[in-house]
Chains A and B, each alone.
Chain A
C-alpha cells in the first residue's frame, strides 16, 4: 500500500519554485491553436438569428428565403412560431453556410415577426419589483437587542450591478460527426469531461462516442461549463449538413447572453461596541441574475457576528441567466459587508486595520489573517500613511487607503490521472482536465517531474481531451488541488511498481529506493542506481502505466484559503475620477506548486478587481430591455495604464505548506472592490455606495455630502 504525501520541503526540487508556464512559447509565438483558430476540411460557418426583444412571442417565422440563400447547407429553427422568448438576443434560427458572409446573408433573409410582451430588467429596487423570490431568513442570537445596546450604529445602502465575463475567446465550438452516432467537438470550455457528457445526452448518442478537445482556451472565468444550446445546435447543423460546423458567438451575444455575475444590493445595519467589537448585523439583500435565482451572497461575509439577521431576495428579470463568475457570490458579499463594516469603523473614528484585527476572532482563519495583515501593513505602509476619513490636504486630489479580506474553499475536485513511463525513459501524464490559462498543464508537469525525479523536459503532459482519464470542470478553484493530487498519487503508484521490480536488481528492498536526479537509486547510496531506461527494460520494453485519483488517501489537498488586500487611491473631487495608485495582496493557498503562475493568479485577480471596481457595468435599457454596451468601447474594462502598482506576496512555508494544495483562481478577485471602495471613502470622506466607482457616482456622493444627506 503506497502512502501518498507531498515531498518534504527540503526534498522539493521543483514544487514551489518559480517556473515559467510550459505553453508560454506556443502562446507568445501565435502557435497555440484555440477553438476559434481551428479549421476542418469542408468546414461550414454557423450564424444565429437572435431575438431583439427582451420578452416577446414569435408570431411569424419564414425561413424559406434563408434556406435558398447561396452557400447555405443547413438551417435549424431553434425557437419556432409561438415560442415565448424571455431575454434579448436569445437564439431563434441558426444556419450553416460555406462562409461567414453567406451565413450572415441567410440570417438577414429570415422573416420573423414578434409580439412584444412586457418585460422587467430593473433589479435595483426591491420594493414593487414583480415576482420577487425571498429566501428564508437566517437568524442568530438577538440582533435587534444587540443593536439597541451598541455604542455605535451605522445604516447604509450598497450595491453593485451586473458585470459580464466577456471572455476574449467567445463561447463556441466546432462539431464534426465521425460516424452516424459519433462526434468530435473542439470546444472553448472549462469542463472537457462534463461537456462531453452533456453533448452525448443532448444528441442521444453513447457517451463513448463523443470526444471533446480543448487544447488551449481563451478565458472562461466561470461562464464555460456548459455545451449550451448553441453547442447542441451546432452539432445538429453539422449532422444535417454532413460537414463540420464552427459556431463562435459574436461579441454582442458574448456580452449579452454568455455570462453575467449577478447584481447585488443591500441595506445593512451594523452595531459595534466602543472598542470596535462587532455585536449586531441586520441585512436585507437582493439582486438579479436572470429569471431564476441569482444565488445569495453570504452575508455577513467572513465575520460570524454573534447576533445577526439576513434575508436575500432574487428579482427575476428578462435577462439571460447569470453564470458562475469567479468566486460566485463572494465579490458581492465581500463588497457589501466590508463596506458596511468600514463605515462602522469610521463611525468610531477607528483605523480600519485595528477594527478588523479586533474582530478577527469572529473569522475561521484568524491566525492566517493576522499574519497576512502584518505583512500587508508593511508593504503598504498602512500605519504610517493612514488618515481618518477625508483627506485634509489642500487641492482637488485626495488620497486614501482601504482594506479588505476574503476566504474561499478551493479543495481539489474529482480527477483521475494516468502516468506512463516509456522505454526511452520519458514520462507522460494523461488527464482530461483543461488549462484555462491558470497554468494547469505546467502544474501537472511539475508534480510529475518532481515525483519521478526527472527534469521538466523529461515529462510530457497531455490534457484537454475527454478520451483521457476524467477530470472535473475548472470551477471553484478546485483544479490545482484535484489534478496535482491525482498526478502525485499516479506517480507514486508508478514508482511502487517500478521499485518492486528494480529492488532485486539493486540488491535492496523497494522501500530503500528513491527516484531522484533522473535515476532510480538506493537512498543514501547514490552510486547504486539504474537509469529509467534500464528500469523500464525490466518490464520487457513495454511502457509502464499507473493511475491516481482525487479524492484519495493522504492529505494532499486542503480547503479554506485566506487573503487580505489593501488599496491606495487618489480621487479628484472636481472630476470624480478615481485612480488606483497601488494594491497590495497577501494570499494563502496552502502548498504552492508553481510560485510564478500562482502569483499570476493574484495579479489577475487584482486587475479584474480594479476593472469591476472602477468601470465594469452592464447597462440594460429599462425601456427596451436590451443590453446597451455590447462592445469593448462601451463595456469598459481596465487597461494597462489603469491598474496602478501591484504588490503580491504569497504565504508559503511552515503553517501553510502542510495545509495541502488549495485552489487560487478565485480568492484574489474577491476583495479588490471592497478595498478600493473603502479607500475612496477614506480619501473623500463619504461613502460612494455603488460599484463601479464612476466619476458620476463619486460626484453624486460628494454632492449628497455637501447637502448633508450622506
Chain B
C-alpha cells in the first residue's frame, strides 16, 4: 500500500488532516494557478487528487471516500471537509451518534475508532478511512441488547435519550480498557459526555452492573468482527495524527490504554 493513490488503495486514502490542511493552504496561496491545475485534473479524472507543493490536494468537490463502518465497507462521495459524524448521519443514516455541540465537547457523537472512543464531529471522514468505525447501532438492537444497553434500560439511565448513544459508546470504550472499573473510573470514563436531563445516577449503576457481563461477553467472543481485518500500516498516523502519543500498545494486553478522542489532540 502506498500513499500516492496507485494500486488498489481505497480511493481517497492516505490523506491526513495535516496534508488536507496544507493542501488547502497551498490552494489559497497559489490562487489562480491552483484553479488551472484543478481544471486540467478534472478533465482527466474527476475527483482525482492533485499534487500541490509536494502534497496531495483533494477536493474541494466531492471525492471518493471508503469507510469501514460496523464491519461493512461503504464507498461514498464526500466533500473532503465532511466530518465522520455527518458522513455517518447523512450518508449512512446511522443517526445514533448525535450532533449537539459539533466541536468535540459534549460527547453525543461518540463512536469507536479502532475500539477507542472518538468524537465523530471532530474527525474528518477522509481521515477515518482505514480505521474501523463502530457505532451504537452495531452493538445491539431492540430484542438483542448489549449488556450495557440492557443495563441503561434497566436503571433508566436515559430520559430524552439524545445523549444516550454517546454515553453507551463511551462506556463501552471504558470497559474495553478497564473491564472492572471503580466508580471514580466510571466518572473519568464518562466525563467526556454531557447529559442535560440528569441521568448520571442511573448511568453509574448501569455501567458498574454491566461491567462483569461485558467482560464475560468479551471472553466468549474475544475477536470482534472488525478486528479480524488485516491490519495495514497506517503511515499517515505515524506521520501526523498525534506526534506526542506513544506507540499504541497491543490490543488486549495492556488494560490501561490512554483514551484518545478526536479533537482533543
Question: Which positions in A face B, CB cutoff 8 Å?
Answer: 20-21, 23-34, 36-37, 39, 100-101, 166-170, 216-219, 221, 250-251, 436-439, 596-597, 599-600, 603-608, 611, 631-633, 637-641, 643, 646, 648
Contacts and interface: CB of A to CB of B under 8 A. Distances in A.
Nearest to A597: B156
B214 interface: no
B152 A28 contact: yes
A24 B153 CA distance: 5
B137 A31 contact: yes
Contacts of A646: 201
Given A20-B154, A168-B162, A631-B105, A29 B96 contact: yes
B156 to A, nearest CB: 5
B158 A28 contact: yes
B187 A641 contact: yes
Contacts, number: 177
Contacts of A217: 160
Interface of B: 79, 81, 86, 89-90, 93-103, 105-106, 108, 135-137, 139-143, 145, 148-149, 152-154, 156, 158-165, 168, 184, 186-188, 190-191, 193-204
B198 A36 contact: no
Given A30-B136, A641-B187, A641-B188, A25 B201 contact: no
B136 A640 contact: no
11 contacts: A27-B161, A28-B145, A29-B137, A29-B142, A29-B145, A30-B137, A168-B100, A169-B162, A607-B195, A632-B194, A640-B186
Which of B97, B136, B154, B196 lies at the interface centre, i.e. has the most chain A CB atoms within 10 A of its CB?
B196
A176 B95 CA distance: 21
Nearest to A606: B198
B156 A607 contact: no
A24 B152 contact: yes
A639 to B, nearest CB: 5
Contacts of B199: 600, 603-604, 607
A676 to B, nearest CB: 15
A346 B96 CA distance: 51
A631 B162 contact: no
Contact of A169 (B79, B94, B149, B160): B160
9 A-B pairs with least C-beta separation: A30-B96, A607-B198, A437-B160, A604-B198, A27-B161, A218-B162, A37-B95, A437-B159, A24-B153
B90 A39 contact: yes
Nearest to A637: B194
A23 B161 CA distance: 9
Contacts of A597: 156
Contact of B99 (A30, A36, A216): A36
A192 to B, nearest CB: 15
Contact of B197 (A32, A100, A604): A604
B202 A28 contact: no
A354 to B, nearest CB: 30
A654 to B, nearest CB: 26
Contact of A33 (B95, B139, B145, B152): B95
